[in-house]
Every structure is written in structure tokens, then in C-alpha cells.
Structure 1
Amino acid sequence: MSEAAWAILAENDRGGYTVPTAHLYPFQWNWDSAFVAIGFATYDIDRAYRELERLAEGQWDDGMIPHIIFHAPSDTYFPGPEVWGTRHRIPTSGITQPPVFGMALRQVHEAASAAGRPDAVERTRKLFQNALRSHRWWLRARDPEGTGLVSILHPWESGSDNSPAWDEALKRVPTSTKTTIRRKDTGHVDAAMRPRDEDYQRFIHLVDVYRECEWDPARQWEAAPFKIADVQMTGILARSTADLLILAQSLSSPEERGELERMHQVLTEGLARRWRQDLSRFVSRDLVSHRDVEAPTQACFIPLVALTLDDQQRRAIRSEIKRWLDGMVVGVPSTAPFSPAFEPKRYWRGPVWAVVNWLISDGLRMNGSEDLAREIEQGTVQAIERAGFCEYFDPTTGEGLGGGTFSWTAAAYLVLSQRS
């Protein structure tokens, strides 16, 4: 199966960057590429570096790494660069995605160092500066009040676009748009597996709002009708910051190391405050309604990658994850199967995603639950071996769903199959 995974990454290579899958996602996506770089690092270190270098080409002058970089034109995806109307030197979207970049950079660097590559330090040092600028942007633009939690202003930024976590907040967003919606995704994938038309209308309304702000972060923050202090995003940022700190020991100045240490402390303290003992999970916060986001989704477990929990928290979150796995052919479902919002085939409303399981299992290992981490990893590997390198999987049947020949699923297989 490793050879098949390599073949998918080769098939989706577009000249130093990897598309998630042909036609459905024909450009470079931010967190997809970071996971793919980690996959490449298991067998082609030069190509792993190149993936991150091509992603860094899209970084804005203010430090933001956009969620899509339109390196080459394609008419198989909506919304394209003409809808976003950004002014970057390379066409990009105007929003971001989970900052896995720092996590990926550490793993690529360690693979390069272990292989004795003479270019490792030079290539890593350049990308380290890209990552540091990105983290500075996150704290400046998405936590301007210094709460220790970074916010998303669009569901697409979370990576889990139509998650039930956003249902209440999206109800405030009008369905009217100034942009003609020409969905292309349902021409490639069954509509029953994709977000609904109403979701897309709200997604594009938000794009319209921020385009009118000329993509200025301060103006967007003030205008945003959707503003969630997100534990998944904050958890990934905190973990990436910890990984940058390890790289910084040999690559950066004492001032930068001190800056990263302060960032890490702020983020982990903010994240730790979002634990809800009565729910046995972490919860995000809606900054418009000032209410907790209690919907049980995979985001509730992602802080595991960044925090060392106490014994009571470990027992509680372990029991909660096992409750989600009960009766599933493959887990962890992206929405709890006991939730009224659970839909086992619809995108982020229930299906299992290999990269989410990768993150959750990493977090469980960090918190002393090796056996449960191994169970999730082995289940993920087996699901891929049965159904193929699909975008996501029905947790109740193991059926492969969404796009086929998916890059980050191939990358996840290369990493997780080495552990199980």
C-alpha cells in the first residue's frame, strides 16, 4: 500500500506542490500541503521541503498564509481567484486555515537531519521565518484582545466547513450574496456528501463581507458576523508553536525564542481554560453571542496535541472518545454519533478523516493513552486498506466517501502505517 500512496502523491503533484485531488480541489490548500509534506518526509525529503516552500510563496506581507494558493488556473473549482479579489502577487484566497505548517517543518527538519542532508539547516531556517511571521499574524489579527484563543471568521478557515459546531453562528449570517454562486463540487461528488446549498450561500456572503473590507484584518474583525474563538485552531497553533520552539533552540535568536515562549504560554493558558468537565471535552466560544459552542465535534479533542492534561481530564476525555467509538466500524467520527446533527456521509457532520485521527492519536500519545492512540491509528490504516485513499469515511460502514485518490489520506497512511 505504501507504493500506492506514493503513486497518489506523484499523480497529484503539480510542480513542487500537491493538489488534494484532481478536479474537485485543483489548487494548493494550506493544511493539506502541510500534512502532505510530513508524508513526503517519510521517503523524499527534498520534495517535502519543496511542498512547504511552494506554500510559503503564497504568504502575504502581513504574515498570513492563505487557505488556497492559485498557482495555475482551473475552471473546476468555485470560488476561484476572481471571487476573492485579493491583491497578493500570486492569486490566493483571502482567509487562512489551521497552521499545521510549524508542525510539518519540525518533522521535515528532523527527517532531513537524521538523513544527514547538508541543506537541512539553511532550508529550515528560511521556512522557520515564514512560520514565525504566520504565528505573529495569528495573535495580532485573530486575538487582538490577548485572550489566548485565536478566532476564525469563516467556517472554511477551520478546515471543517459545515461542522455542526458552526450551525448556531451561521444562522446569523444572511443567505443573500453579491456573488453568483456556481458550485462545482457537486459535479464531482454526490451532493449528499457535501455541504448544502444554504451553507454555501452563507459561506459566500461572508466572502462578500470581507472582500468589501479589502481583506484588512482589523476591518474584518469589526465587520465579522461570524467570529468563533476556536479550540481546534488554537490547539494546532499552540502545538506548532511548541514545535517551532524546539527548532528555535538551534536556528533562531534568543529574542525569537523568548517571543515563542511567550506565545506558547499565552495559547496554552487560553486553551486550558476551555475545558468543560461536565462535557468531558474542550469547547470553543462564540464571540458574537458570548456563548460556548457545545456541539460535540472532533474539534473538542484537538487540544490534546498541545496540552498536558491532569489525571481527571485524561480519564474523562479518554472515556468520551471511547463513547464516540462505540459501535463504529471506524472512528473517530467528526460529529458524535449520539448527536442529533450526526450525518455519517455528509462531509464534516459525521465522517471520519484520516488527518483528524492522526492529530487525536498524537494528542493521546502525549497524554499517556498509547493503547487508545494505537487503536485509532490501526482502525484508520485498515479503513484505507479496505476502501482506498478516499477523502473521508463513513464511520458506521467504513465506506470511502468524497474525493478519491486524496493526497492527505495517502500522507496519513504513510505516517500511521509505520506506527501500527
Structure 2
Amino acid sequence: MTSLDEQARAILRGNDQGGYTLPTHGLYPYQWNWDSAFAAWGFATFDNARAWDELDTLMASQWDTGMVPHIIFHKPDPGYFPGPDVWQTGQSPATSGITQPPVAAIMARKVWEMDPEAGQARMAALYPKLLAWHRWWHEVRCTHGPAAITHPWESGRDNCPDWDIGMAGVDGSSAGQYQRRDTGHVNPEMRPTKQDYDRYIAMVKFGCSVDWDQARIVRDGPFLMADPGITFMLLRADEDLAVMGRALGEDVTKLLGWAKDLRAALPTIWNDELNAYDALNLKTGEFANILGSGAFMAYLADAGNPQLDAQLMRVWDKVNYGIPSADPEAATFDPRKYWRGPTWPVVNALLAIGLRDAGRADLAERLRAQTASLIRKHGFYEYFDPLDATPCGGADFTWTAAIWLTWAGRDVESDAVRGAA
């Protein structure tokens, strides 16, 4: 019988397109930004050079502005929507016009620490590109303090309830006719609605209309929300990049200044009524007033507190497997609908890194054991129902295989050895 470790390595190899990795065949036929970062972490457990190749290929499509796009369209795939003809970014290779969670520096540090000698030259070459991306984030998207997104897809948590108040202000009536691929590969009930998609496409069309001028999109675009999840990931990534910068002999003063400013902005996204960090509609000043998994990324950035601890335990104790992507007690909770309730192994892994770093090894191990149970029961699916473990989304999923190899499939002792602590 093939072991789960062997199955996970086979998934990474099977989704490998030579320098970049698909999230899964069919459903996601291109290179996705934060998926690739996790793929690198997974590859590093058995092929260090391939791990660095993944990060290099991702950063090779960085825009002159410093932004790293959320999709890179390496090869034509006419069945995918929205494809490069919709985005119209003029990049080569073609890319989308938005970004995704900045976890690449977090994962690069993990990869480097697994074999520092082999990674020294690779990290030295990657460092200025990561720094430029972080500069873009701070100078373009942190103008209100916390990190802001201009499209829900940038958050990585596409249709989570956090964005409902911002989405309500987007007119999707001009989206036109289109054929989605996602609903042909998985149960449509598990995916964002057509109304959601109409609004997503309206946001893309606005970006096209201003030639993807990010300052104009932030100022005049239909959607602008502060994202706790991205804020915390960026803060952690800043600090990880600074660690690598120091080791390379770089001056990290600017990087640490950005991190300091971002940490100082955290009270902006603390919602006293919710007793948690919350998404904030920057167009209206309104909080989403919904607890989502993005709030718990605070632990990744060492920004937890007793009130958030209480919310984490309340939410976690309402389900059986991992951290749900939305509050199980909220009316919007749907345990199988993409980011409106399911548990995501990759998010659990990020949260566990933060919990371990905060000295909460007991909680990190509880989370690891529950995530491992899902994978042992059903395999390497994209996400799972947190109540009954039903597998959802794409199968043979790259980042689920990656976090099995690096974290979920490891015991506490080998966890630290593989860079997951």
C-alpha cells in the first residue's frame, strides 16, 4: 500500500509543469501565487532545488511596479474563465491584474532553513524581488494603515462573509455572458454564486478600464476593504524577510519600519463589538461584523490577545475538524461552500505555525492532529466540511499534499526538523 507521504510526493510531481506547479489539474490549470509558495515548502522536503525553482518562477512574472500577480498564464487553456483575454494586462507571460496573500517570504524562510547552505545563493537572488513586492504592498495597499484588497480574490478567501458588505456596493449587471469552469469540475453548491461572479468580473473590467493603474483602482475602484488575514500575513512575511536580509548582510531598516507601521495600524481593524479583528470597508468605514479565519491569522504575526483566544476556542469547539473559515454560529455559515465555512488544511498550517511560535504547542498539536485526520480519512482535497469531514473542492491538491509533508503528517519532533515550527 502506498504511504501518504509517497502519495503526497506523487501529487506534487504530477502537478509539476516544470518550474511551476498547478494547484490541481482541470479546476486550476495555471500557476497561482500563494499555492506556489506552499508548493515550494512541500518540494523542499525531498527536492530542495525544485523548491527554489518554484519561487523563482513565481517571482519571474513580477510586474515592474513590484506586484506579483495572483495567476500566471504560462500555457493557453481556452476553457478557463476569466483567462488572459479578460484580464488584458499586457504582461508576458500573461498574468492577472491583481495579487494574492504575500506568503512567499514566509515559505522562502521555511525552505531556506531546511537547507541553509544549499539555499544561500538562491535566497540572495530572490531577496530583492521579495523586497520589491513588500514595498509595493506597503506603498500601494497600506495607505489606510492595514493592508487593503481591491478584489476579494486577492485575499485568497474569495467568497468569505467578510467581503459581503463590500460586495454589496459592486454593480455586477455589466458582467456579460461567460462560462465558468469551476462549476463544471466540482459541485456548484460548493462554489461562489453567479451573483458573486458577476461582481468579481465587474471589478476585473474596472481594472482593465484604468490599465491596471493601482493608485486609481484603490482610489476609484468599486471595492476596497482592509483584510485582517493579509495584514497579518504581510506582517509575518516582513519579519521573516528581515531575518533573511540580516543573514545576507542586507540593511533591513526600511523593512522593519514597514513592519512597525503595520503593527501600529492593527487597532484600526480591531472590532470591540466582535471582540476580534475584523474586515473593514474602507469606502464606508463599516466593519463586516463577521468573524472569519483571517482574524485568527493574528497568531501568525504574534498579535493574539485574550479576547481573540476566547473567540478562537468558541469557534473551534463548535466543529470537529480544524478551524472553520467562518463563524459556525453566524447565519452565513455554510460548512461546504468554499470560504463560507469549510476548514482549509493550508490555513490550519499557517495558524499552527503562529500557535507554536507563541508557545501554544498544545493547540498547534490539536490542530495538526485534526488536519491529519481529514487527510487520512479522505485524501488530499482542497478543503473539508469541518463538521463531518466531507471532502470538498479539488482532489489531489498541491498545497494539501505540501502541508502533509511539512506539517500535518509529522509528529512534534520531526515537525521542527522540517521547518514547520
The question of a shared fold, defined as TM-score above 0.5 by the shorter chain, is answered with yes
Shift of 1:346: 0.5
Shift of 1:308: 4.4
What does residue 346 of structure 1 align with?
Answer: 337
Kept in 2, the 8 Å contact 1:308–1:366? The answer is: no
What does residue 185 of structure 1 align with?
Answer: 182
Kept in 2, the 8 Å contact 1:305–1:363? The answer is: yes
Q: Compared with structure 1, are the counterparts of its residues 316 and 367 closer, same or farther at alpha carbon in structure 2 (3 Å cutoff)?
A: farther
Distance 2:330 2:45 in 1: 37
Kept in 2, the 8 Å contact 1:209–1:223? The answer is: no
Kept in 2, the 8 Å contact 1:24–1:76? The answer is: no
One-letter identity of the residue aligned with 1:270: A
Give the secondary structure class of the aligned counterpart of 2:95: coil
Shift of 1:75: 2.6
Q: Deviations over 1:342-395 (max 9, x none)?
A: 001110000010111111112222223221111011100111110110010001
Shift of 1:278: 4.5
One-letter identity of the residue aligned with 1:156: W
Percent of pairs identical after alignment?
41
Q: Compared with structure 1, are the counterparts of its residues 419 and 319 closer, same or farther at alpha carbon in structure 2 (3 Å cutoff)?
A: farther
Give the secondary structure class of the aligned counterpart of 1:95: coil
What does residue 173 of structure 2 align with?
Answer: 176
Question: Equivalent residues in 2 for 1:18-37 (5 A)?
Answer: 18-37=21-40
Kept in 2, the 8 Å contact 1:179–1:208? The answer is: no
What does residue 46 of structure 1 align with?
Answer: 49
What does residue 266 of structure 1 align with?
Answer: 261
One-letter identity of the residue aligned with 2:237: S
Alignment pair present for 1:128 and 2:120: no
Kept in 2, the 8 Å contact 1:23–1:76? The answer is: no
Question: Equivalent residues in 2 for 1:219-230 (5 A)?
Answer: 219-230=216-227
What does residue 194 of structure 1 align with?
Answer: 191
What does residue 410 of structure 2 align with?
Answer: 418
Q: Once superposed, what is the RMSD of the aligned Cα atoms?
A: 1.4
Give the secondary structure class of the aligned counterpart of 1:226: coil
Match of 2:327 among 336, 339, 346: 336
Distance 1:318 1:358 in 2: 17
One-letter identity of the residue aligned with 2:114: A
Match of 1:291 among 286, 296, 300: 286
Match of 1:239 among 227, 236, 240: 236
Kept in 2, the 8 Å contact 1:29–1:68? The answer is: yes
One-letter identity of the residue aligned with 2:120: V
Shift of 1:167: 0.8
Give the secondary structure class of the aligned counterpart of 1:60: coil
Q: Deviations over 1:301-358 (max 9, x none)?
A: 112111244xxx2x33222222112242212110111110000111000001011111
Alignment pair present for 1:307 and 2:302: yes
Q: Unmatched 5+ residue regions in structure 1?
A: none
Kept in 2, the 8 Å contact 1:177–1:208? The answer is: no
- Which is further off, 366-375 or 383-392? 366-375
What does residue 69 of structure 1 align with?
Answer: 72
Q: Deviations over 1:135-175 (max 9, x none)?
A: 0111111123xx43110000000011111111111011012
What does residue 363 of structure 1 align with?
Answer: 354
Alignment pair present for 1:216 and 2:207: no
Distance 1:341 1:219 in 2: 32
Count of matched residue pairs: 408
Q: Deviations over 1:266-316 (max 9, x none)?
A: 11111254334553321121101111222111011112111244xxx2x33
What does residue 317 of structure 1 align with?
Answer: 308
Give the secondary structure class of the aligned counterpart of 1:241: helix
- Which is further off, 408-417 or 342-351? 408-417
Kept in 1, the 8 Å contact 2:321–2:386? The answer is: yes
TM-score under structure 1 normalisation? 0.94
Distance 1:252 1:196 in 2: 49
Give the secondary structure class of the aligned counterpart of 1:331: coil
What does residue 91 of structure 1 align with?
Answer: 94
One-letter identity of the residue aligned with 2:276: R
